Amino acid sequence: MRVTTLSIEGRSARSALMLSLVASLLYGSQYVVIKDGMGGINPLLFGAATMGTGGLLAMLLVRRRKGLDLSIFKRWEVWAGTFFATAMIACQYIGLTLSTASVGGLIVGSNVIFVAPLSAIIFREVIGRVQALGVAVGLMGLMTITTGWDLSFLGTNVFLGDILLLIASFSIAANYPLTKFAVRVMGNDEWVMSFHLLSAFFLLILSLFIGGPGEPGDLSIPAVLFVGLFCTSVPTLLWAIGLRSLSMTTSATVLLSESAFAVLLGVVLLSEPLDTMTVLGAVLVFLAIFTVSRTVAQKR
């Protein structure tokens, strides 16, 4: 009986890892599409369109499974998730207009560095010395990527874009514990649907007051459809399902492949250069995430 239970748990963990991996590859593909396809459209409006598309797709899944239950919109988890999702999309999309897709993928994908301390605070996961060192190395890597240790870089638009991407990364990390709480009282699809639809609404409102609609490019509509259908609710739903069987830090570590895939696509498809400091920062971030995840795996 014990062997059977362990076997089932093992398969469940492997399935969760695969779901998280697929989610990370879908997430990683969005950076070059956003960077190349947004054109002159307001990033906030672009974000509202992509999140709205993803939210409607999730709503179809909810209706097919059980029907809509509007009571979920009274839950604090939904509104907290909406706040961080709105901040994440706004900062990420605006940040990508000022920075490169590859750097955007590196910074946003480093959210595990913030997940580790958050998991310690909220779920009382113990952070050992090695794990704390990993977080410190990761922060140093992010500092290297965003500034290149050049003080003259601090006043540039590129630095502003990197800071916005850093805020987006923290916002993603904040949604990890919220997801843990939310799926205890609602379905994964309901959770994903709720904050996608609400954040789309608030992003639309923000776009009306900040910048106007802008000028859509030839690739804007295809980009909205691609990101909305494949890079919002679908990978988020896969990730949320996988998170049921994984720790927050382990799940975030698997999503590290998002950064690697984003860098690969940025260099290959957009011919984005990677300077020495960016490469050094990326190495430090990858080393930090490996260190954090390895210590968590040993504890499990």
pLDDT band at residue 6, thresholds of 50, 70 and 90? very low
Tell me, what's the pLDDT at 87? 96
More confident: 276 or 214: 276
Q: Which of 61-65, 74-78, 288-292 has the lowest mean pLDDT?
A: 288-292
Sequential DSSP letters for 6-24: HHHHHHHHHHHHHHHHHHH
* Domain locations in the chain as residue ranges: 13-299
Tell me, what's the pLDDT at 1? 37
pLDDT band at residue 2, thresholds of 50, 70 and 90? very low
Sequential DSSP letters for 147-199: HTT-GGGGGSHHHHHHHHHHHHHHHHHHHHHHHHHHTTTS-HHHHHHHHHHHH
Tell me, what's the pLDDT at 246? 66
Is the model's pLDDT at 256 over the cut of 70?
no
Mean pLDDT of the chain: 81
The answer, as to whether pTM is greater than 0.85, is no
Mean pLDDT of the 224-242 span: 85
pLDDT band at residue 95, thresholds of 50, 70 and 90? very high
Tell me, what's the pLDDT at 91? 96
Q: Are 171 and 85 in contact (CB under 8 A)?
A: yes
Write out pLDDT tens, residues 173-213.
888 888 888 988 998 889 989 999 999 999 999 999 887 77
Mean pLDDT of the 248-258 span: 64
Tell me, what's the pLDDT at 11? 46
Is the model's pLDDT at 298 over the cut of 50?
no
Mean pLDDT of the 246-271 span: 73
Maximum average pLDDT range among 5-14, 172-181, 243-252, 276-285: 172-181
* Rounded alpha-carbon distances, angstroms, from residue 281 to 3, 39, 140, 142, 146: 44, 29, 8, 6, 9
The residues facing 215 across adjacent strands are 40
Write out pLDDT tens, residues 127-156.
677 777 777 887 788 788 777 777 777 778
Residues in the chain, overall count: 300
Is the model's pLDDT at 265 over the cut of 70?
yes
